[in-house]
Amino acid sequence: MQLQRPFASVTTAVDGDVLMVLSRAAGPMTIADISRLVPDRSYAGVRNSADRLTEQGIVNGFRTGRTKAFALNPDHLAAGAVRALADMRRELLERLTVGCDGLPLRYAAVFGSGARGEMRPDSDLDLCFVVIAGRRPEAEDAVHALCERAQGWTGNVVRPVVFDESEIDAADPLLASVARDGVPIAGDGRWLSRKLRTLAG
Amino acid sequence: MTPRTGTTAQGDESFRRGRLAKATEFLDAADTLRELGGESGVLTSTSPFANAFVVQCVLSGIAAADAICVARTGRYSRTGAHDEAVPVLRAPAGQAVAKHLEVLLAVKNKAEYNAKSVSDTDIVRAGAAAEALESAARSD
């Protein structure tokens, strides 16, 4: 899956993108509003999709003067499923966070394309784990088991990078990228940035 | 409360990333000020850089709020005014997230313009709120 495009797991049609936008919106959105959030789709494609989804009842259309706006129909039988699809990124982060509970971790984060919102369907999911000093042997099996589960949840190859706390090197470009882009799933989310800054003096 | 029209502006993905990067940068600056001015990493109202720390937290929180709003609606609040920025964030992100921005905007003027220094409580709450907003923007 692509974390930034969760509907692509079930459909690559523009309808998925439109539903994604409307399910997260604060209120009705015009076609122009929706189009801005799905820049790789044409204006006409978005308009046709919104009309199609309105016909199916999952989207409500509102007309104010000459402007038409659209919103997810919260009462539709499929609304819950649509929201669940839209929230898959958050759901994955929650599952990873729960999976890290109880492990001897100082810090863990999703990094790379998954964190930056640039995943392709075949992208790896990169996870960085920093284990509390001296406890790496007991953490490793659990980390790898969590990664196997995450592979099942997403369909992506999950690549863990495991550091002992004592191995953190301020000059390591991978750790710099984790600190910059990483989405924390364990420990104090600011720990790595602070550690790298302290080590760099 | 529905955000008033005219108080928001459009933002795209590159704007979102830029604002998120600034949220992180301001938070890093706040951390640095905490380390420089604090006793064992703890800032109090009498510490050097106490107000500067809170100002960096406020800047970080506003930038993170912009990133969250743009990710969800394609728009962000054009002002840091409390009555405009908070509803713009609350509408797509919910009260739990908007509360953090409320905390920061409530202490903004005190940290920036008042003669009196921020309090110990202001420092703790501003740090926690800024971290929570930056984390929410990264997770979005």
Kindly tell me if the per-residue pLDDT of A133 is higher than 90.
yes
Measure Cα distances from A1 to A82, A132, A151, B72, B124 in Å: 16, 31, 10, 20, 39
- pLDDT value of position B86: 92
- pLDDT value of position B71: 92
Q: Across the interface, do B74 and A33 touch by the CB < 8 Å criterion?
A: yes
- CATH 3.30.460.10 intervals, chain A: 88-200
Q: In what order do the strands lie in the sheet with A29-30?
A: A29-30, A67-72, A59-64
Judge contact between B125 and B103, C-beta under 8 A.
Answer: yes
- CATH code, A88-200: 3.30.460.10
pLDDT per residue of chain B (140 residues) written in tens, 0 to 9: 444 456 889 888 899 999 999 999 999 999 999 999 989 889 999 999 999 999 999 999 999 999 999 999 999 998 767 778 899 999 899 999 999 999 999 999 889 998 889 999 999 999 999 999 999 999 88
Measure Cα distances from A37 to A16, A32, A54, B71, B73 in Å: 13, 9, 19, 8, 8
Domain A6-86 classification at class level = mainly alpha
Q: Across the interface, do B91 and A26 touch by the CB < 8 Å criterion?
A: yes
- pLDDT value of position A176: 95
Residues of B in contact with A108 (CB under 8 A): none
A118 touches chain B (CB under 8 A): no
A115 touches chain B (CB under 8 A): yes
Q: Across the interface, do A27 and B2 touch by the CB < 8 Å criterion?
A: yes
ipTM of the complex: 0.77
- pLDDT value of position B80: 65
- pLDDT value of position B84: 83
Question: Model-level pTM?
Answer: 0.85
Judge contact between B8 and B78, C-beta under 8 A.
Answer: yes
Q: Sketch out chain B's domains with CATH numbers.
A: 8-139 (1.20.120.330)
Give me the residue from A27, A37, A193 closest to B74, CB to CB.
A37
Residues of A in contact with B139 (CB under 8 A): 89-90, 93, 183
The CA distance from A186 to A163, in Å, is 14
Residues of A in contact with B75 (CB under 8 A): 33
The H or E element that residue A142 is part of is helix A136-154
B139 touches chain A (CB under 8 A): yes
Kindly tell me if the per-residue pLDDT of A141 is higher than 60.
yes
A190 touches chain B (CB under 8 A): yes
Determine phi and psi for A29, rounding to 5 degrees. -125, 145
Q: Across the interface, do A189 and B135 touch by the CB < 8 Å criterion?
A: yes
* Nearest of B70, B57, B129 to residue B98 by alpha carbon: B129
Kindly tell me if the per-residue pLDDT of A175 is higher than 90.
yes
B12 touches chain A (CB under 8 A): yes
